[in-house]
Amino acid sequence: MDFSLPLQEATLQLRYKRFLADVVRHEGTELTLHCPNTGSMKNCAQPGSRIWYWDSANNKRKYPCTWELVEVENQYLACINTQRANGLVVEAINNGVIQELQGYDQLQTEVKYGHENSRIDILLTHKGPVPRCYVEVKNVTLMAADGLGQFPDAVTQRGRKHLRELVAMVEQGHRAVLVYCVAHTGIDRVAPAWNIDPAYADSLIWAMQSGVEVLAYGADINLTSMTLERRLPLQLDR
């Protein structure tokens, strides 16, 4: 996935009100960016960090510039734009990178399903007698220590709802898969964040025991593009 607009560098001052961030550009001017991330962005929003953003040049937007990448611990890149995750997974499926999700004829996105007013991120179907495959995508950017990625970075009732919906699909005879899209170059394995949201972690274990498959794939990130490239191991113990 290429960035459609060139990224520009700045220094983070403060992320606030969830969707806004103040930065300082090289020439010293201040700028407020749109921050496309509803999570806590734990360990990815340290004041003084180098960040990269793109300018839509759309004067009709109140905040025409959007935050995309951040440098973490002076060596790793993380994509804080959670809107990229679904596209990265779709691209990886179409390019054969996620081998576990091959063999389907049709790929649809944002399809209504379930009993709790949900939309599945990706629905894979086949003309033959093959069960539907419901794919939920979660973006991972929280690195706790020693390359350990964790999800979620804040308490998420919505995440638990999605797990319930996936289990319901399995009970109906379909296939259900949760894909952790790891948009952080320092993460080499993924675990539920027991210390942040133990209820979600318990729900994840229950979902896996109920037949939901869980995959984690890591991204290669640079200043021009991002690509999911490698499967990462899961670490499920507390």
User: Residue 238 — very low, low, confident or very high, per pLDDT cuts 50/70/90?
Assistant: confident
- pLDDT at residue 217 in the model: 98
| CA 184/CA 170 separation, integer angstroms | 30
pLDDT of residue 145: 84
CATH says 8-79 is which class? mainly beta
**Residue boundaries of the structural domains of the chain:** 8-79, 82-231
- pLDDT tens-digit series, residues 51-74: 999 999 998 999 999 999 999 999
State what percent of residues in the chain have pLDDT above 90: 95
What is the pLDDT at residue 129? 86
Q: Is the pLDDT score of 128 beyond 90?
A: no
Residues 180 and 164: their CA atoms lie apart, in Å, by: 17
For 98-120, the pLDDT digits (tens) are 999 999 999 999 999 999 999 99
Our CA dihedral for 181, 211, 116, 126, rounded to 10 degrees, sits at 80
165-211 pLDDT, tens digit per residue, is 999 999 999 999 999 999 999 999 999 999 999 999 999 999 999 99
pLDDT digits (tens, 9 = 90+) for 13-43: 999 999 999 999 999 999 999 999 989 999 9
Residue 157 banded pLDDT, cuts 50, 70, 90: very high
Give the 3-state secondary structure of residue 164: helix
| Residue-level pLDDT at 237 | 86
Token pair belonging to 83: 């809107």
Of the CA atoms within 13 Å of residue 124, those in its CB half-sphere come to 21
| CATH number listed for the domain at residues 82-231 | 3.40.1350.60
